[in-house]
Amino acid sequence: MSADRPAGRSPNPVSGGHLGTRHILVLIVAAAAPLSAMVGTVPLAIAFGTGAGVPAAFTFAGITLLCFSVGFAVSARRTGGVGGFYVSVADGLGRPPAAATGYVAVVSYNCATFGLVGALGYFTHLVLADHGVHVPWEWCAAAGLALVAVLGYREIALSARLLTLMMLGEVGILCVLDIAVLVRHGLGALPLSSFSPARAAGPGLGVTLAFCFISFIGFESAALYGKEAKNPRRSVPRATYGAVVLIAGFYALTSWIAVGAVGPGKVQGVAGRQMGDFFFRLGGDYLGGAGATVLQILLCTSLLAACLALHCATNRYTQTLAADGLLPRSLSALHPRHGSPHRASVVQNVLTVLVVAGFAVAGLDPYADLTTSMLGLGTVGIIALQAIAAASVLGLRFKGGGTHWWREGVAPVLGFAGLLVSLWLVIANFDMITGKPGTLVAYLPWLIPVAAVVGAGYAGWLRSAHPGRYRALGQIERVPDPAPPAGPAPAAAATGATATAPGAPGSPVHDR
């Protein structure tokens, strides 16, 4: 181990992990929770935003995030697809911005997880009550969190397999609903007016885009699973691309068909009256009572899947920062048998219990108070992280690490610009998203720059007080290229050493 490298940091393996592209793709899509997004955010975007123009907004969001993904894939290949935004920013912008990014990531992902646990308790309580079973939302949340705790402690492949089943269920029921609407209405279920300039860019565009980008939360988490991937340099970029295309296409198509089912001229009023019941009413109309019941059940499993996926992502950020000494070193430990960041998992669950219990004891509403505020704050932080990660790819180009005009130039610029606009829209409409105008909730986004300042300040202190620890920040070893099929292997490859020494000019992180 290098003298500059903190204890607990393990190099990224060339191979030997358990996750392939398909598993990582499932973890990403599960975090986005397609059914939850359709039920929870699409009716709000329609009612308070551009109405029938929502499908066009999802298309714009997908294109923006695809441009971001092109640049992010460049960074993922350089760093070996590990460490998420923290290592990506260290690679392109240096250590203080990376430390700021890491702290913002931990705050944002934890808050998003808190919010989703509240939503899980709230909707599970409502679904059970609708079928004559009355269980307090606190116990519903506790049961879901207990399952997340068990799965998050164990090997990630187990969670990936379970998430695959839950994701197939929620995507499957929405596909069945889409087909039922298309069978009844034909091409009339796909009204071209949804993409007309008057509707797509009409009044409420800011609100619509804010809700659309919220629906993509967690899609960028592929780069947190590089250590557990079989071939991270290929599977991480592929999973990121696949997730953007799949999520954006699915959201745009399903919302478009929902508009067609109700009618472009009526959908805004109907969504405003029905709100959270909008898709359940569609399920009842087109799939019968049984279809509506299946939608209710799968909404609960969708939220459970999202909680588990974001819990896993949060733990890996915590473990990476702890390995670099930015958080308590004990949290960097990996389970000797499962290979999971088990201590980080336990701490994250304890935090979740404390936050959710605090809201419950205060008598606050699990959805109107807990979910909206915490998920809204997490969304602000994650969009900010995406923007700074896009800027880090441009940083690589400016310091001579990138030459391709599209991957390291135009695509990151487009992604960065789109994400900045999206971040401004989410912050400007934070009152609408949380439903708490004129309260302290409106000031929650200020926690994001506070976390960034604390992270950057701590890195600055390390630079003068502990230069060895400072130089090790964000230095995940580069994954070597696969050995050629024939001929003797280079000595470095044969011993498993990295091709480039940490901190050298060709390494992922320069000494700054």
Query: How confident is the model over 343-352, as pLDDT tens digits?
Result: 999 999 999 9
Local confidence band at 438 (pLDDT 50, 70, 90 cut-offs): low
**Alpha-carbon span 67 to 48, nearest angstrom:** 28
Tell whether the model's pLDDT for residue 102 goes beyond 50.
yes
Tell whether the model's pLDDT for residue 164 goes beyond 90.
no
Among 295-299, 415-419, 451-455, 477-481, name the most confident range: 451-455
Average pLDDT over residues 337-344: 86
Contact 374, 111 (CB under 8 A): yes
Contact 217, 112 (CB under 8 A): yes
**Alpha-carbon span 253 to 259, nearest angstrom:** 10
Tell whether the model's pLDDT for residue 43 goes beyond 70.
yes
Q: Which of 51-60, 84-93, 398-407, 476-485 has the lowest mean pLDDT?
A: 476-485
Among 32-41, 103-112, 244-253, name the most confident range: 103-112
pLDDT the model gives residue 75: 79
Tell whether the model's pLDDT for residue 1 goes beyond 60.
no
Tell whether the model's pLDDT for residue 178 goes beyond 90.
yes
**Alpha-carbon span 11 to 1, nearest angstrom:** 10
- Residues pairing with 229 in the sheet: 19
Local confidence band at 291 (pLDDT 50, 70, 90 cut-offs): confident
**Alpha-carbon span 335 to 407, nearest angstrom:** 37
Using alpha carbons only, how large is the chain's radius of gyration in Å? 22
Tell whether the model's pLDDT for residue 463 goes beyond 70.
yes
Which amino acid would we find at residue 500?
T
Average pLDDT over residues 381-391: 90
Local confidence band at 202 (pLDDT 50, 70, 90 cut-offs): confident
User: pLDDT: is 446 or 216 the higher one?
Assistant: 446
Share of the chain above pLDDT 90, in %: 34
pLDDT averaged over every residue in the chain: 82
The CA-atom distances, in angstroms, between 13 and each of 7, 244, 480 are: 17, 26, 9
Local confidence band at 228 (pLDDT 50, 70, 90 cut-offs): confident
pLDDT the model gives residue 343: 93
CA atoms within 13 A on the CB side of 117: 33
From the list 209, 217, 229, the residue with the least C-alpha distance to 383 is 217
Local confidence band at 17 (pLDDT 50, 70, 90 cut-offs): low
Local confidence band at 161 (pLDDT 50, 70, 90 cut-offs): confident
pLDDT the model gives residue 168: 86
Local confidence band at 412 (pLDDT 50, 70, 90 cut-offs): confident
pLDDT the model gives residue 83: 79
Tell whether the model's pLDDT for residue 405 goes beyond 90.
no
Domains present along the chain, CATH in parentheses: 21-476 (1.20.1740.10)
pLDDT the model gives residue 504: 37
Average pLDDT over residues 13-42: 75
Local confidence band at 114 (pLDDT 50, 70, 90 cut-offs): very high
Tell whether the model's pLDDT for residue 324 goes beyond 60.
yes
List CB contacts of 336: < 8 A, sequence separation 6 or more: none
pLDDT the model gives residue 389: 87
Per-residue pLDDT tens for 188-198?
Answer: 899 999 999 98
Share of the chain above pLDDT 70, in %: 87
Average pLDDT over residues 399-413: 73
Q: Which of 20-29, 301-310, 362-371 has the lowest mean pLDDT?
A: 20-29
User: pLDDT: is 492 or 444 the higher one?
Assistant: 444
**Alpha-carbon span 84 to 102, nearest angstrom:** 9
A 10 A CB-CB count for 242 gives 18
Query: If DSSP codes are grouped into helix, strand and coil, which group holds residue 33?
Result: coil
Local confidence band at 199 (pLDDT 50, 70, 90 cut-offs): confident
User: pLDDT: is 483 or 207 the higher one?
Assistant: 207
pTM: 0.82
Local confidence band at 266 (pLDDT 50, 70, 90 cut-offs): very high
Tell whether the model's pLDDT for residue 19 goes beyond 90.
no
User: pLDDT: is 353 or 490 the higher one?
Assistant: 353
Query: If DSSP codes are grouped into helix, strand and coil, which group holds residue 203?
Result: coil
From the list 444, 186, 224, the residue with the least C-alpha distance to 316 is 224
User: pLDDT: is 363 or 78 the higher one?
Assistant: 363
Tell whether the model's pLDDT for residue 106 goes beyond 90.
yes
Tell whether the model's pLDDT for residue 29 goes beyond 90.
no
pLDDT the model gives residue 10: 40
pLDDT the model gives residue 349: 94
pLDDT the model gives residue 210: 81
